[in-house]
Structure 1
Amino acid sequence: MGFKSTILVVEDIARSRMLYEDILKCKVEADFGLYNVGFEGGLALYRKSFFTELIHQIDNASKTHNVVIYFEFKDIYSLRDRIVADGFELLHDIKEQPWGQSVLRFYDYDQHIVEVGEDMETTLVNMYRSGMSAAAIAVKTGYPEDHIKTLLGV
């Protein structure tokens, strides 16, 4: 067996759970109350005080910009509005990546970076609708042209 999960150490399970479950739509797989919660796909949250007990250290200092949790959504513009309305700090607003995907990055309650990209299928379709050929989309995105043609039905 290999990789199983990514664990984020957070101050407040309930508050962090609101972000990951309610806003980012992660589905709970295992709920251990105030100590930790596991989501489908391998993301888990551990309460900082619980984790500190597990590793027998008084302080496990936070280090920022060393972990990025990635999500995709069809409509990141509506999600962005919710993130801003809920007071999360943006690392940057929505911007286009070199491969054409729109991406937003913000900090969660514990200063982990959350990256939200537009679903790549949506990106590919939007590129085609804007007049790009399947060949041009393949060059820009790195996706195989056959995959793009199958997705677009062309």
Structure 2
Amino acid sequence: MIKFISSVLFVKDIAVSRMFYEEILDQQIEIDYGVNIGYVGGFSIWKKDVAHQNIFRDNKAEIELIGNRKQQIELYFEVEYIDKICKKLKDHQIEFVHDMFEQPWGQRVFRVYDPDKYIIELGEPMNVVIKRYYETGMTFEEVAERSSTPISIVRSVINNK
């Protein structure tokens, strides 16, 4: 089953956006990666220039194209069978933003365009990443460091296998 996880808003100034969501709208942080903040309830903010570089890498034309759009949004989904869904989307000739790659924190992701050119990201759940690292012989501490995940979450995922 493909599970919808969150909407991601690309923001110009992460500090200003954090103040708005946290201090004005009383949103609670679920996880903080600095340039990418996830809030309880299922939405995230991501510093726009970092997001664009991460998504489009060195493709300046795509960065400029997306940067000039009035509406910018990415819908994020997680799926354990990421290879299967990637193949399905290719078989249906869906336009890819980029093929699957591994994020610095170990999660495999790919992005496609929806029919209106909104970005749809599909990634494997972090519990899958954590288990994969742990099964290679890494300690809890090594998994936490490699996956940028708090050790309490790593312990919880591994102990609830």
Instruction: Find the counterpart in structure 1 of residue 105 from structure 2.
Output: 99
**1:89 aligns to 2:95 (yes or no):** yes
70, 73, 84: which is aligned to 2:76? 70
Cα deviation code 1:31-71 (max 9, x no counterpart): xxxxxxxxxx79xxxxxxxxxxxxxxxxxxx9388211100
Pair 1:108 & 2:101 matched: no
Q: Deviations over 1:4-23 (max 9, x none)?
A: xxxxxxxxxxxxxxxxxxx9
Correspondence list, 1:139-154, <5 A: 139-153=145-159
Structure 1: runs of 5 or more not aligned: 1-22, 27-40, 43-61
C-alpha displacement at 1:75, in angstroms? Answer: 1.1
Amino acid at match of 1:66: Q
- 1:1-154 residue pairs with structure 2 within 5 A? 24=2, 63=69, 66-153=72-159
Alignment identity in percent? 30
Structure 2 Cα separation of the partners of residues 131 and 93 of structure 1: 28
Change (3 A) 1:64 1:81: farther
Q: For residues 77 and 64 of structure 1, what CA distance do their matches in structure 2 show?
A: 32
Cα separation, 2, equivalents of 1:75 and 1:127: 17
CA distance in 1, matches of 2:3, 2:152: 31
Superposition TM-score, scaled by structure 1 size? 0.57
TM-score for the superposition, normalised by structure 2: 0.54
Runs of 5+ consecutive residues of structure 2 not aligned to the other structure: 5-41, 44-67
Looking at structure 2, the residues matched to 111 and 64 of structure 1 have their Cα atoms a distance apart, in angstroms, of 12
Shift of 1:25: 6.0
Q: How many residues align?
A: 99
Look at both structures and tell me which one has the larger radius of gyration over its CA atoms.
Answer: 1
